[in-house]
Amino acid sequence: MSIQIIQTAQAPAAIGPYSQAVRSGNTVYFSGQIPLDPATGEIVAGDIAAQARRVFDNLKSVAEAAGGSLDRIVRLGLYLTDLNEFAAVNAVMREYFSAPYPARSTIGVAALPKGTAFEADAVMILG
């Protein structure tokens, strides 16, 4: 089975040796997105809600570049440096996703790239 690298200028460029996403068959595997503004490469200002919106906007851009949309995402991985922010991230997630929601894990971590408070990765099915 062939693979296709997904790349869009509407989401931040990779900050390491990885692709924004990789498609294999009808499955798209997203790399983690942090709250980087794709235009500036800088972390967005604001609270966890602002960071979560930027992350979900980035995921949306990669999904669209792959020929899909957020409603085709079947699994989300959420990573928070402060699990006390869980409710705020859930509230933002409801702005981007509706029932039936994707499967999800939420993991508390000690640190994330560039000192951000939130990161998300995903798996999407097309077709």
Q: How confident is the model at residue 127 (pLDDT cuts 50, 70, 90)?
A: confident
| pLDDT tens figures, 95-120 | 999 999 999 999 999 999 999 999 99
As a whole number of angstroms, the distance between CA 64 and CA 113 comes to: 24
- Parallel, antiparallel, or unpaired: how do β-strands 21-24 and 27-33 relate? antiparallel
pTM of the full structure: 0.96
DSSP string of 67-86, one letter each residue: T--GGGEEEEEEEES-GGGH
Q: Which two tokens stand for residue 66?
A: 């792959």
As a whole number of angstroms, the distance between CA 95 and CA 111 comes to: 26
pLDDT for 85: 98
Domains recognised in the chain with CATH numbers: 3-125 (3.30.1330.40)
As a whole number of angstroms, the distance between CA 57 and CA 59 comes to: 5
Mean pLDDT, range 50-78, rounded to an integer: 98
Q: Which residues contact 110 (CB under 8 A, 6 or more apart)?
A: 81
CA-based R_g, the chain, Å: 14
